[in-house]
Structure formats: structure tokens, C-alpha cells
Amino acid sequence: MLKDSPIVILDEATAFADPDNEVMVQKAFSELAKNRTVIMIAHVWRTENLIFIIIYILYIENNIDMMYNAVTIKSEYKNIVTEVPMKINSEARFTTFEAVSMIVGNSIGTGIIAVPYLATKNSMLDVVWMVVIAYCINVILHLIIAELSYNNGGVQLVKSFEGELFHGKMKKIFSWIIFAVYGMVIMIGISGNINGGAQIFVNWFGIPFAAAQVIYYVIAGIVVFIGMKAVGIAQKYAVILLMGIVAVMTVATFMHPLNSFNTADFHWNNLLALYSMVVFATSANQAVIQVVKGLDGDAKKIRKSIFIGFALSSLFVLVVTMSVLMGTKGTLDKELAYMQLGESIGSWAMILAGIFSLFALLTTFWSNTLALRDVVHEQTGIGNRVSWLAATIPCILFAIFGVNSFIILTRIMSGVVVLVSIMLVLTYGKSRKKAGSSPICGVVGTVPFQVLMVVSTVISAIGALIPLS
């Protein structure tokens, strides 16, 4: 520092100093560093150090006692910290459209097939305002999920929980417990997905159900086995295909005699069940974290993807449900209602409906198995492809030897996932406070909205578990 050099690089200059002496050293540095560019390397990050370094590197303002007046600097330059992007480690980069497709693809799956059946227990007007409410709730919830992952370097929820909630000797034990519970939640959803896809193969080819399960698992799993970028590309083209099929099927529905809008008697049980399923059908917990990683933590692009993605998912639910209710003849089946719509229109529509159902399941499978792979990888440290095998082989075994009812698995999934979000809100509150900024959520991440998420979670859990009237 005594040398008259225009650039000074300090390597852990205060590493072994206690807090009181560090302040004194920093004050001395601030005097000696005038009219110079200073770069400081430190492994122990204090707010004052971070602000000092950022301001010196980016702004190099002379004659300002930056370190000694750290509080003043923090107030004047607080926006500088939020502008520095979080370092996100990702195996692939997404375009905005691929990011939106990840969200839509994760949403359009098991839930969207079950919504029309539950809609028959309510009115179409109930469906509309449940979708509107679910959109608002899901946007808030997934902004929170995205920012929590962002604050923790793009990791899945298990590692975020570990980093924010657990401390001391029991930290690893609690982490493994959450890993097991959360992993089981995703596994149940994947198993239901495998059974839904297998049923389509059985209807098409007349093969044994167990063989259909294995074939679906292998065909769907190849994409995820290749990697994250392959999933993004597959989701993009799958969403385009699904949008085209829905457009054709909707037009064809209105070219045939239509049913009147459903006007079932009001029952709280049925309405709560509908709300729970609509929230589940338009959610994309796993995909949002993948979007954070794929967009390199770009807050603006992440927000844009979430708003657009959930708008498209909500539109899908409304259009598909309306078409099924107005165009299907007879009583709706619980599990494959869209294929019934195709049957009511004609043989060609039956084929399109089958393709829609298959790709709706595939898109969800890709997102969920990719997420489960990441959860296993982050927890164990093993490679991505081995992690995927370790994560998904239990899913196919559970699908073959476990619960075979698609609707049962779907409702269990919807109930458990929303319960996990209570822990999510608690974790996010601590993370937001520690970060000191909110680059993704802003005002919708404040305490009132966190409370709203908890209330919605409780309502959804009740709706998923109570019997229909």
C-alpha cells in the first residue's frame, strides 16, 4: 500500500484480524487507497467488505472514506448489491421460450386430465374463478420458490432447507429426513405419471400393463438421461404440439352438438377438491428451479417466464376443461377424460386426444425426473446420469408393484406437495432477511403474501384429502 501503484490487489488482508482491528485496518486502507483502483480478495464476507469492494471496483470514487463510512455507503449504494448477479451453476442455458415451455410442460400433465372430472361436481363458473385464483397463488408461490433457489445458488428445495433452516449437529440428519420425504413426494408423482402413460400404451397397442409401464419409462427417460438442455428442447416442441392439438380439438368440439354448461349443486367438499386439483394442475415447482438455473439467475427473465408460463398453463386448463364438458357424451371417466372427448368427436380426434394425453404426461415426467435427479445429485454428490438412475428406478418399481390408481396418486401428490410449501414459506422468510434484497419477488415476497401462501396451502391440503359429495 505504501508503493505509489495505480492498481492494488489485496489477498485476504484482514483474514486474521478481529472485528475491532479490522475496522482500524479498513480505515487505514481507505486513506491509502485514494486515487487508486483496489481489488480485495476475502473468504470471510461481511456486508461492509462486500459493499466496499463493489464500489471500489465499479465506481472508484476518490476522497470517500468508504470502509469507515460503510453504513452511509450501504444506504447510498444499496441498489448496487442487488445488481450483481448471483452465481448459478448450470449444465445448460435456456432461451426465454424454453424456460416458459419448462413451466408449461411441468404444469400440463396428470392434473389437467383430472380437472374435467372434478369440474362435473361443480359449475363451469366455479372452474373459471378457481383457475383465476390458482393463477395468482401459483405466480406468488413460484416467485418465492425461484428467489429461494436463486439465493442459494440454484439448488433444489432440499438444499435450500438445509442451508436456511437447519443448524448444529443435527443439520445433516434433518437434511436427510427432508431428502427422503421430499424425494418420496416427487417419486409418487412420477409413479402416477408412469401409470397414466402406460394406460395410453395399453389402449393403443393392447400390451400387458407392466410391459407398457417399462416401455413408457424407457422412452420418456432417454431425454432426461441425455441432460438438461435436451429436456428444454423437448419441452419446447412438446408444448408447441400440445397447443396445436388443443386448438384443433377445441374448434372440432364446436362443430358438433354441444352440451350445456355444467350447473351442479354447490358443495364445499367438491369446490375445495376442485381448487386443490386446479392449483396442482397449474403448478410447476420443479420446473421453476430449472428455469432459475437455465436463465443464469437473470431476475427479469425469470419473472417474465413465470408470469407467461402460468398464464398459458391456466389457459390450457380452462380450454381443455370447457371442451371436455361441452363436447363429451355420457359420464366422464375419472382418469382419461380428454380421450373421451376425442371419441365423441370422431376416430381422428381420438388419435389426437391420445397424443395430447401422452405428451402431457411426458412433459411432466421430464421435469419431475430431472428435478429428482438434481435432488439426489446435490444430496449424494454422485454424477448426473447415475443420480437419474438411482432416482427413477424406485419410481418404476413403485408403479409396477405399488398403487396403480392414477387418480389416487394424483390426489396424494396434490395434498403432500402443498404441505411442503409451508416449510418453503418459513425457509424463504429467513433467506429473504439474510439476503437483504428481493431481486425476483419484490413486494409479493413480503410477510402478508407469505401468510397467504400458508392459508392457500392449508385449503389445498384439505381439498385434496376430503371425500367428494
Dump pLDDT digits (tens) for 57-91. Answer: 444 444 434 433 444 444 444 444 444 444 676 78
Helix or strand holding residue 56 (H, E): helix 47-58
DSSP 3-state of 37 = strand
pLDDT per residue as tens digits for the range 231-248: 999 999 999 999 999 999
**Same domain for 161 and 25:** no
C-alpha dihedral (201, 207, 213, 215), degrees to nearest 10: -80
pLDDT at 364 over 80: yes
Residue at 149 is within a domain: yes
Flag whether 452 is in a domain: yes
More confident position, 325 or 30: 325
Residue 89 placed within a domain: no
What is residue 289's predicted lDDT score, i.e. its pLDDT? 92
Query: Which pLDDT does position 60 carry in this prediction?
Result: 42
pLDDT (0 to 100) of residue 63: 40
One domain, residues 105 and 44: no
The model's pLDDT over 11-56, given as tens digits with 9 standing for 90+, comes to: 776 666 655 566 567 667 666 666 667 776 665 444 444 444 444 4
Do 137 and 277 lie in one domain? The reply is: yes
Does position 167 have pLDDT exceeding 80, yes or no?
no
Would you say residue 340 lies in a domain? yes
The pLDDT value given to residue 424 = 83
Which of residues 26, 55, 83 is at a domain's end?
83
Q: What is the dihedral of CA 179, 182, 184, 190, to 10 degrees?
A: -120
Verify that 50 and 126 share a domain, yes or no: no
* pTM of the shown model: 0.77
Give the pLDDT of residue 419: 62
Q: Per the structure, how many domains does the chain have?
A: 2
Regarding predicted confidence, which is higher, 451 or 332? Answer: 451
Per-residue pLDDT reduced to its tens digit, 394-436: 999 988 887 555 455 555 555 566 667 778 888 898 888 888 8
- CATH code where residue 169 lies: 1.20.1740.10
What pLDDT score does 53 carry?
A: 46
Say yes or no: 77 and 113 in one domain: no
Retrieve residue 357's grid coordinates.
394425453
Among 83, 113, 135, identify where a domain stops.
83
Considering the domain architecture, whether residues 44 and 189 belong to the same structural domain is answered as no
Q: Are residues 266 and 215 in the same domain?
A: yes
Q: Does 102 share its domain with 78?
A: no
DSSP string across 283-325: --HHHHHHHHHHTTT-HHHHHHHHHHHHHHHHHHHHHHHHHHH
The domain boundary residue, chosen from 32, 48, 83: 83
| pLDDT over threshold 70, residue 392 | yes
Among 121, 39, 105, residue whose Cα is nearest residue 287: 105
Does the pLDDT of residue 313 top 90, yes or no? yes
How far is residue 413 CA from its own chain's centroid? 15
Predicted confidence band at 128 (pLDDT cuts at 50, 70, 90)? very high
C-alpha angle 346-352-353 in degrees, rounded to nearest 5: 85
Mean pLDDT of 146-160: 89
* 76, 281 Cβ separation under 8 angstroms: no
Q: How far apart are CA 280 and CA 313, in angstroms?
A: 11
The answer to the question of residue 91 being in a domain is: no
Are 148 and 429 a contacting pair, CB within 8 Å? no
Same domain for 101 and 47: no
Give me the pLDDT at residue 82, please: 41
For residue 371, tell me if it sits in a domain: yes
**3-class SS of residue 263:** strand
Full domain range(s) for residue 32: 7-83
Give tens-digit pLDDT for 85-95. Answer: 446 767 888 99
Residue partners of 401: CB distance under 8 A and separation at least 6: none
Contact predicate 464/273, CB 8 Å: yes
| Residues 77 and 109 occupy one common structural domain | no
| Euclidean distance between CA atoms 439 and 437, whole angstroms | 6
Task: Give the span between the Cα atoms of 421 and 161, in whole angstroms.
Answer: 11
Query: Which of 450, 367, 434, 418 has the alpha carbon at shortest distance from 152?
Result: 434
pLDDT, averaged across the chain: 80
Over its C-alpha atoms, the chain yields an Rg (Å, rounded) of 26
Residues 6+ apart with CB under 8 A from 109: 193, 281, 360, 361, 363, 364, 365
**Has residue 393 been placed in a domain?**
yes
Residue 441 has a pLDDT of: 93
423, 127 contact by CB (below 8 A): no
pLDDT of residue 72: 42
Residue 106 sits at the vertex; the CA angle it makes with 105 and 108, to the nearest 5 degrees, is 65
Q: Which residues of 281-303 are buried (b: 16+ CB within 10 A; e: fewer)?
A: bbbbbbbbbbbbbbbbbbbebbb
Q: Do 106 and 69 share a structural domain?
A: no
Angstrom distance (rounded) from CA 462 to CA 109:
22
Assigned domain for 90 exists: no
421 grid coordinates: 410449501
How far apart (Å, rounded) are the C-alpha atoms in residues 192 and 404? 8
Residues 6 or more apart whose Cβ sits within 8 Å of residue 386: none
Q: Identify whether residues 128 and 204 lie together within a single domain.
A: yes
Residues 6+ apart with CB under 8 A from 93: 229, 294, 295, 296
